[in-house]
Amino acid sequence: MSELLTPARVLPGAATWSGLLRRGFALDLEDLEGGANVALLLLDAHEPTERLNVPDSLKAQHVARITAGVALYSDMGRVIASVVEDTCGWHDPLCGHGRLEELEQRFGPSSYAEERNAVRRGAREELVLELAKHGLGARDMAATVNLFSKVTVDAAGRLTFCPGSSPAGARVVLRADTDLLVLLNTAPHRLESAVDWSPKPVALNVREVGPAAPDDPVRTACPENERGFAATDAWTER
C-alpha cells in the first residue's frame, strides 16, 4: 500500500483540505508557528453516513478533551481514528468550527477583490464546500474537533479559550483505524480573541504505522475502547 497523501505538505492558515487516509496510516500534523487551529471532520471513506461522533467519543471515555490515548468513534460504535502521539495535551472537542458571519462581526467585511487570497473565509462554509467536492453537503456535517486549541469549562459551564496552549513545533498524530475521508480547515478557533486576523499554517505528513496491535495503548486504555476496536476490526476485516 502506498502513501496516498503528498508527504510534508504545508497547509496555510485559513485553508481547507480533504483526502483519503487509509486504515493503518497516520496523519502527522505540526503547528509550525504556534497558535494554530485545525478543525477536523472524519467520515468513513466508503459509507459517509458513518462519521465522527463527538458525543459518542466523549462519553465512551469520559473525556471532554482529546489527547494521546483517546479514540475517536463513529456513530456506529466503531473506533475510526486514534490519537497516537501528542505534544500539546489538549485538543478541543466542544466548540466546533466557526462561520463567516463570526469573522465579519469581529474583523469587518473581507473581499477577494480587495484582498485576493488573503480574503477571510468561514470554516463552516469552506467545509461544506469541501464536502460538496465529494458529492456530500451540509447534511453530512457533524461536530468537529479543534486540534491545537484548548478550551476549559468551569463549574457554571462557561467556556474559556486558553491562548498559547500550542507552541511552535507542537505535533499531534492521528491514526486512521478505518479508511477515512479527512477534512481539515485551518481557520483560527472561534473563541480566540486575537485582535488581528492571523491564521496559522500547519505541516501535514502521512506515514504507515499499521493497524492497532492487540497491545495498542489506545485499544487497551479502557474496556470501552477494547470493544470499539473489536467492532472496527470485525468490520474492516470482513
As measured in angstroms, the least distance from the Cβ of 218 to other proteins is 14
Please say which residue, 103 or 204, places its beta carbon nearer to other proteins: 103
As measured in angstroms, the least distance from the Cβ of 132 to other proteins is 12
Please say which residue, 55 or 169, places its beta carbon nearer to other proteins: 55
As measured in angstroms, the least distance from the Cβ of 21 to other proteins is 21
Rounded CA separation 161/168 (Å): 18
Rounded CA separation 143/45 (Å): 17
C-alpha cell at 24: 493503518
Evaluated on CA atoms 165, 75, 158, 199, the torsion sign reads positive
As measured in angstroms, the least distance from the Cβ of 129 to other proteins is 13
Please say which residue, 181 or 206, places its beta carbon nearer to other proteins: 181
Tell me which amino acid residue 39 is: A
Rounded CA separation 118/129 (Å): 18
Instruction: List residues near other proteins by CB under 8 A.
Output: 48-49, 53-56, 58-60, 62-65, 73, 75-78, 90, 94-99, 101-102, 124, 137-144, 152-159, 190-191, 224, 227-228, 231
As measured in angstroms, the least distance from the Cβ of 128 to other proteins is 8
Please say which residue, 175 or 190, places its beta carbon nearer to other proteins: 190
CB contact set of 181 (below 8 Å; sequence gap of 6+) = 18, 19, 20, 42, 43, 44, 45, 48, 134
What are residue 166's phi and psi, to 5 degrees? -120, 105
Please say which residue, 33 or 75, places its beta carbon nearer to other proteins: 75
Rounded CA separation 185/16 (Å): 4
